[in-house]
Structure 1
């Protein structure tokens, strides 16, 4: 369960790292990708637009498929957004490639917002839930903070070549690769054991009824 929390924190941090980069590097983005100031503003606000359009559907996915499935979808969209940014730097430096990558990353953030309390309530004991929820929620805020600090240090006003953009985009790509590997190959569908008495009761309620092939204890 702690590995699942680490995966969520990596996902939220890496996604937050990319959130505001174009709003900070307006001049550099215009020069490198050949876009206007209006297009830069659209890239920056795309997160809010995606949130308004797809927010309710994300909650349905969590409710029907569970936390791990939601995090797998989040990792998929996050990886797609990271890869498209690399593509935009190397082969397709235009507005639409960047916008699609922003939309993918915007879908990711919708998945990560409700994930901390859901993960903590279903995977952690009562005494651990406050810590788990706090860490999961804080990771995105810390990522956004670093996302405001790092870009001007890497993509400077003196050197905003494609190589500098590629260097910055490689950082969240590394986070994406690790969290995708964890959620795909390491994290199970549920916690290895019920974290609390209430979750144990839920697990018993979902278990199939005795079909007569086993004899209850004490019979």
Structure 2
């Protein structure tokens, strides 16, 4: 009789589970809220993380194949947003000839809008959830693209005419307002969907995939935007691609997985922690030991990549690379190196948690690689090969600093809001970048003689390289003082708590083997 009761209890549990009910540790039936995922109802189990009354049920962290779809869409949206930001960086002359405004000014408009919008990301995500926010931001970016491109490029419409400068600026502002929702959420996505051994890598992909967007701007923009008509078709291509990616995001992007992927995230769910308002989080972060070191390193990295990317045409030409195709390929290679460095070096940090040592090594190498970008030795002349090697080396080292220190900031502020952490970093990084762009533009035309009295050692260096070198060395000196506990790493290392004898065995809550979300 007892054996039959157990089987009936198990059957009832599974039946009630499909309708949003579960048994708590005291064998009482309780209702729980649904997880906002695309898992079919008949495959969506009930979990202790969704109900405080189920805290005593033993759960093990799990990861799902859906996490790669999530990452893919966030990375694609980031790619498109920075492609739009730097869309005219490869051919600034055509843009200036068409709109009678400098290409650097439209980048500045984008970055300042980005900074203003970043203040809204954390509270918006907390109120509406990751899924809805990313989908709405994708729609906003698509609207901005069509404002920039218009519709006259479509083959079934006669005539070609670019949108007015006012419409172009309005579209740029819309895209700039949408971008922070793709840039500030990678650590949150990594925490929600990826195991502790994957987080730095997934954050590196999501954060640095925008560099592929900049590389695409150099390659595609350099080939298409060679005339006003080509510029219009180029903007139209971006609008169409953005529309397609947004459509996929609306159909496939999910919110939370059924079970968190790590013990630290599971513990946050069990405690039912609510994220505080953004400004309150900011005050807490700056009072947390180690946060400012990660912030300064992040700002240094994003500032260097943005400045070099914005003036890649000038950097290549003064180094002896003057062909437009060669400049475009060099710019694309720099952006690709940033992505590759983030993935490879981020993967190493995932395994070792050596945030400080790796970041300091990257800063040290970056300070060496930034010098040849503006240095000319008079006895040798221009050295295109050295310039390219330094450019790609700089991309590998300085680009990886962003995702590593995004994860470090989340680690030291645990259990703080991941989105708030990244919002602060993006605000700082993009604000400093926007301020540095005009300064670097001025400094690039300042030439400083070195050792002119010694013929074999005489050389000159441009002011923008000196500026970036000073920023890197100051960051390295400050970062060497980092000494803070890795709170999330310690939480992940803790063993899961055992339940008492009254808890329902976790076997009743096992996801079916054929669950399409489960690895």
Q: 1:152 to 1:217 in 2, by over 3 A?
A: closer
* 2:221 equivalent to 1:151: yes
User: CA RMSD, aligned part only?
Assistant: 2.6
* 2:243 equivalent to 1:177: yes
Q: 1:37 to 1:89 in 2, by over 3 A?
A: farther
Q: 1:170 to 1:198 in 2, by over 3 A?
A: same
Secondary structure of 1:37's counterpart equals coil
Q: Which residue of 1 aligns with 2:197?
A: 127
Per chain length, whose mean CA-contact separation is higher, i.e. which structure has more relative contact order (CA < 8 Å, sep 6+)? 1
Q: Output the CA distance in 2 between the equivalents of 1:89 and 1:99.
A: 18
- From 122, 132, 138, give the equivalent of 1:75: 138
* 2:130 equivalent to 1:60: no
Cα deviation for residue 51 of structure 1 reads 2.3
- Greater helix percent: which structure? 1
Contact 1:15/1:172 (8 A) holds in 2:
no
Q: Which residue of 1 aligns with 2:94?
A: 28
Secondary structure of 1:191's counterpart equals coil
Unaligned runs of 5+ in 1: 207-214
Q: Which residue of 2 aligns with 1:209?
A: none
Contact 1:8/1:136 (8 A) holds in 2:
yes
Q: Output the CA distance in 2 between the equivalents of 1:178 and 1:195.
A: 30
For residues 46-91 of structure 1, the C-alpha deviation after alignment (integer angstroms, 9 at most, x for no partner) is 1122123222112221233332233113201211111112217656
Q: TM-score, normalised by structure 1?
A: 0.80
* 2:166 equivalent to 1:113: no
- From 183, 188, 193, give the equivalent of 2:254: 188
Cα deviation for residue 189 of structure 1 reads 2.4
Secondary structure of 1:12's counterpart equals helix
Greater CA radius of gyration, 1 or 2? Answer: 2
Q: TM-score, normalised by structure 2?
A: 0.36
For residues 22-61 of structure 1, the C-alpha deviation after alignment (integer angstroms, 9 at most, x for no partner) is 34433322444xx3235x5432211122123222112221
Q: Which residue of 2 aligns with 1:7?
A: 73
Q: Which residue of 2 aligns with 1:17?
A: 83
Q: Which residue of 1 aligns with 2:347?
A: none
Unaligned runs of 5+ in 2: 1-66, 154-160, 273-501, 506-519
* 2:115 equivalent to 1:49: no
Cα deviation for residue 139 of structure 1 reads 0.5
